[in-house]
A = this chain, B = another copy of it.
């Protein structure tokens, strides 16, 4: 099988300049970004992406949802889709989503300028409303979810997304680039307990129906429940309240919001089962009624083995060793993986900060990630579109 020439080198200065340019759209005085999906800044960012690609001589277009795509003019596919989202949470950092969008634009522009065979088979995307903070959003991932139901998905043969890690694991482990094996499923629960409010002085322990104890015991136990079911899973108790909330009144009602993340549905099911058992047991001990209400569930995504393998190969080529990571944050890639062979690459986040103006990644990692994305695009093309390479190389 013939192989293409060595992948071309991205334009380092253009990549870093464009990251900074997009970071100025919707930026507050302290550098925090406010590109909530659909707001003026978000729409200005999409316009800027559209115009930037047009200026390069590429075809850029919006779909009905608000996703912005770009590709070479007069190509007929199939295309390898690459990108990320350009919206943000309020007071966001400048890399979450944006980095993957700019890197994808850089990859296509580089391939196009070098007239590389894969230039005809790459499409970039800036997803609409990944974050889900827009008023009326049904939990985000709006643009990618829409694509899974769009006939255009039939023209695509795989999806790659480059993203900052948003956590501290790579930095702590000294990793410069990591292939991502999948994305955790996320389930949220509200644990509510109802007992009997009463005088905290005159009601002996054995006669209490203390709803507060049900939820504090559940919150305190969550970590053990997760670790027992799956050492790679995590959980959080983020919101808690007692009623009527007085120091000298036994709580008659209480609730806590829990979130659990794990790499497989089996692990999520096991955790949920243990949680329900524990809450039922504690509620019985405390003489309360309790409910575990699953308020949302995003399924776990396990990435395509073949595409993942090529990402891993490229990562190893660049960094020697490489450690596969599971993503604990959600991404459009999890939705798209239900429709297309999908994989992701991570670069480190300094200090692990994200959703904050402290979000940062060193320039060398930003450049490395974008180059690795380009190399993966070429590698995936060689593997999944061999005839294209043959034809293009013959034609060249």
Q: Which A residues have a C-beta under 8 Å from some C-beta of B?
A: 165-169, 172, 184, 186, 188, 198-205, 207, 210, 212-213, 216-217, 219-220, 223, 227, 234, 236-242, 245-251, 257-259, 261, 328-330, 352, 354-355
Look across to chain B and name the residue whose beta carbon is closest to the beta carbon of A282: B220
Most buried by B among A186, A204, A261: A204
A199→B329 contact, CB < 8 A: yes
B-side contacts of A247, CB under 8 Å: 188, 236, 238-239, 257-259
B-side contacts of A200, CB under 8 Å: 234, 236, 238, 259, 261
B-side contacts of A249, CB under 8 Å: 236, 238
Alpha-carbon distance between A190 and B203 when the two chains are bound, in angstroms: 21
A201→B261 contact, CB < 8 A: yes
Look across to chain B and name the residue whose beta carbon is closest to the beta carbon of A251: B238
B-side contacts of A223, CB under 8 Å: 205, 213
Contact of A220 among B207, B216, B234, B258 (CB under 8 A): B216
Alpha-carbon distance between A169 and B198 when the two chains are bound, in angstroms: 14
Q: A186-B201, A202-B354, A352-B203 are in contact. Are A246 and B238 (CB under 8 A)?
A: yes
B-side contacts of A203, CB under 8 Å: 167-168, 352
Alpha-carbon distance between A328 and B261 when the two chains are bound, in angstroms: 44
Alpha-carbon distance between A198 and B168 when the two chains are bound, in angstroms: 11
Q: A166-B202, A201-B186 are in contact. Are A212 and B240 (CB under 8 A)?
A: yes
Alpha-carbon distance between A1 and B239 when the two chains are bound, in angstroms: 70
A201→B251 contact, CB < 8 A: no
Q: Which are the 8 A-B pairs with shortest beta-carbon distances?
A: A167-B202, A200-B236, A201-B328, A216-B219, A216-B216, A238-B247, A247-B257, A216-B220
8 A-B pairs with CB atoms under 8 Å apart are A184-B201, A199-B328, A201-B329, A216-B219, A220-B220, A236-B248, A238-B246, A238-B249
B169→A204 contact, CB < 8 A: yes
B-side contacts of A210, CB under 8 Å: 236
Look across to chain B and name the residue whose beta carbon is closest to the beta carbon of A164: B202
B-side contacts of A201, CB under 8 Å: 166-167, 184, 186, 234, 261, 328-330
B242→A238 contact, CB < 8 A: yes
Most buried by B among A205, A234, A240, A241: A240
Determine how close the nearest CB of chain B comes to the CB of A81; give it in whole angstroms: 24
A199→B238 contact, CB < 8 A: no
Contact of A216 among B168, B237, B328 (CB under 8 A): B237
B-side contacts of A165, CB under 8 Å: 202
Alpha-carbon distance between A296 and B248 when the two chains are bound, in angstroms: 12
Known A172-B207, A238-B249, A248-B259; 6 more pairs at CB < 8 Å: A201-B328, A202-B329, A212-B240, A216-B237, A238-B246, A239-B246
